Homo-oligomer: A and B are copies of this chain.
């Protein structure tokens, strides 16, 4: 079990990468298996050999994406000292990781899905909850250390998450540099709005 397993993993990766790119660009529904076939050269049957279904493929990508994001962040977190700097660092990672926040767009499609509770909606809800919790801890630390004025960290965390979502949306049609500026300004405003004032 060597040559075959290796080859197999390579094609699975190729399919996953192509699907990720397509889902990011076109959304979930708008991306067809046929397009993934064309992008990879693999056959339809082969895709279904490696992944249970289209939904399963998407789920796989979400998990992978989120894990990777967390790994990347943990590697970089120590580079930033203040919570302020960390926020800027997060924005930078969001933009650089992939300008268009890979699956955010596709995620939008499921965010409001009253259909027969697909697994995907559940998973995305969980991801958002994790993000908010992540933000909350970050902000709470800033508050505790006197960097920010004491406020409802939970609500601020939701606002911050929304701000990121909104900025991602607004910067989809610009280049990296402009996106960076926009995120930076947005965080500036946000921080300025919650900063502890010595007056």
Contacts and interface: CB of A to CB of B under 8 A. Distances in A.
A114 B162 contact: no
Interface stretch (A21-29, A49-57, A59-67, A82-90): A21-29
B186 A162 contact: yes
Contacts of A189: 156, 159, 189-190, 193-194
Interface in A168-191: 169-170, 172, 181-182, 185-186, 188-191
Given A25-B114, A100-B112, A199-B199, A169 B159 contact: no
A114 B26 contact: yes
Nearest to A128: B170
A34 to B, nearest CB: 15
Given A166-B169, A189-B194, A27 B109 contact: yes
A105 interface: yes
Nearest to A188: B193
B29 A29 contact: yes
Contacts of A114: 25-26
Query: Which of A29, A115, A155 has the largest number of chain B CB atoms within 10 A?
Result: A155
Interface in A6-64: 25-27, 29-30
Given A25-B112, A166-B161, A152 B185 contact: yes
Nearest to A199: B199
Given A113-B26, A189-B194, A192-B192, A170 B181 contact: no
A108 interface: yes
5 contacts: A25-B112, A109-B109, A164-B166, A189-B190, A193-B193
Interface of A: 25-27, 29-30, 100, 105, 108-109, 111-115, 152, 155-156, 158-159, 161-167, 169-170, 172, 181-182, 185-186, 188-194, 199
